[in-house]
Each structure stands twice: as structure tokens, then as C-alpha cells.
Amino acid sequence: MRRGTRVAVLATLTLATGACASSGADDAAVAMTGDARFEPAGVVIPVGGTVAWHNDGVTRHTVTAIGEGRDPTGAFDSGVVDGTGTFQHTFDEAGAYTYTCTIHGGEMVGVVTVGGS
């Protein structure tokens, strides 16, 4: 599937399933791809915004907040998200939140910037 098509499908699935809260512009959607990437790898949302991560294939993934040493911080953790599953988290504090897929390690990393412009 081409990238533009994947993004359009993700947006349609997100709207159809209600994966994002209804506040619209305050929210972001991220795909967890079968080739071990978060797409997009970085999103910016305001404080109180929600990010919905959607697994776009059959490969299992996690969305786990990590610190500088790549250890889990406990800020959020999806557990295993099976194919076509969704995990969402609302961010109530400004900051940069780095996350990874614990199954795929260093090759699958993303950042949520909260309160940035």
C-alpha cells in the first residue's frame, strides 16, 4: 500500500471507529506499520490532546514511553496491540514524550511533543 493511501485509510479508520476524541485539531493519529515504523514518527499536540496509535497490519506492536536510557518511564504503555488494534493516550502535561515498540526495539521509535507549536 502506498504511503498516501495508508494515511488516508488510517484517517478513515480513525474517524469510523472513533479512535480519537471528538476535539479534532487537538488530536493526532499514528500508524504502527508492518515494517516496524511509527508513521509519522513525530507529532505535536496541545496539552489535553490525544494520540491514537493504530496497528495497520498483522504484526504485533507496543507503544511504551521511554526515558534517556531507553528504559520504560511508566508514563504510558499500551501492552501488546495486535493487528488492526488501537491504543490511545491523552497527554495532560507539556513535554516531549519518547516512545518505542518493545517488541522491535531501537528500530521503532517516535516522539509526542505536547504543548509545542
Which residue would you say has higher pLDDT here, 15 or 63? 63
CA separation (Å) from 21 to 28, 61, 90, 107, 113?
A: 10, 22, 9, 29, 18
Q: What residue segments make up the domains of the chain, in order of their start?
A: 3-114
CA–CA gap between residue 50 and residue 68 (Å, rounded): 23
Mean pLDDT on 80-89: 96
Architecture of the domain defined by 3-114: Sandwich (2.60)
- Whether residue 92 has pLDDT greater than 90: yes
**What does pTM read for this prediction?**
0.78
**Residue matched to cell numbers 489535553:** 48
- Whether residue 86 has pLDDT greater than 90: yes
